[in-house]
Amino acid sequence: MRTLNTISILWQRQLKRYFRSRARLIGSFGQPILFLFALGFGFGPIYAKAGGGNYLDIIAPGVIAMAILFTAVFSGIEVIWDRQFGFLKETLVAPVSRLSIMIGRTLGGATVALIQGLVVFGITFFTGFRVTHLAMLPVAFVVMFLIALIFTALGTGIGSLLEDFQGFQLIMNFLVMPLFFLSGALFPLTDLPGALGIIVRLDPLTYGVDALRGALLGLNHWAMLTDMTILIVLMGILLAIGAALFARIEV
């Protein structure tokens, strides 16, 4: 019971922190909107003339995944914030396991990232994007939450290793942008050059983007079962790694 209460309290705290920060709430939608409108309408006609079809079908699921990725990973910076301002020390001395603390923080960060993704999903409709597989919509929401859990655990693990904001931002910029651009979020996964094809397959976000395209539009590159299996395995691995790193924090 005590463990569940701790998880619930930390989950609620993450949500309250997010919704209280209006600047963060509004500013976090700037980049997804820019990608949707600038790339969606800018490259759309070129993509259509090349025989590729509707470019929004390619980019919209990718931008949704991007919104989740950025919010989830950067939630790890709150570990550093809490460490510097003393809240983390107060939390860690509580008579509960560090695993439950990490799970509560991860669920809270993942929920915030999911909300971000759902809002961007709603924005895509203003660009003309339409879901063609409505029956698979619940599966799409599950995929979005899996992506959120995977990268919140990653951000928490990295945040547990660092003690200053500068180091976190450097690593995140070095890690997050390649994860996004090499995931196939902005281009189809068919007929890729050999080296790029290998790198794309090593990117965990690739399978989230592919699963989203499959659930929303039926445009899977791989089978949905393959995407979901890889995402679930990655979630388990990164949660375990994140929990191990968080357990080693010294305050």
pTM to 2 decimal places: 0.90
- Left, alpha or beta for 223 (phi > 0: left; psi -120 to 50: alpha)? beta
Residue 183 is classified by DSSP as T
Domain count, the chain: 1
pLDDT of 15:
66
Encode pLDDT of 27-52 as tens digits: 667 788 888 888 877 877 887 777 77
* Total number of residues shown for the chain: 251
User: Angle at Cα 134 formed by Cα 25 and Cα 72, nearest 5°?
Assistant: 30
Q: What is the Cα–Cα distance from 53 to 149, expressed in whole angstroms? A: 32
pLDDT of 226:
95
Q: What is the Cα–Cα distance from 65 to 220, expressed in whole angstroms? A: 15
Kindly report the average pLDDT of the chain as a whole number. 83
pLDDT of 90:
66
Q: What is the mean pLDDT of residues 197-218?
A: 94
Most confidently predicted of 83-97, 171-185, 212-226? 212-226
Statement: residue 26 has pLDDT above 80: no
226: domain range? 2-247
Provide the residue type at 116 as one letter. Q
Statement: residue 24 has pLDDT above 70: no
Q: What is the Cα–Cα distance from 250 to 236, expressed in whole angstroms? A: 24
Statement: residue 55 has pLDDT above 70: yes
Show the tokens assigned to 39: 């790339």
**Residue 204 pLDDT grade (very low, low, confident, very high; cuts 50, 70, 90):** very high
Q: What is the Cα–Cα distance from 149 to 169, expressed in whole angstroms? A: 20
pLDDT of 103:
85
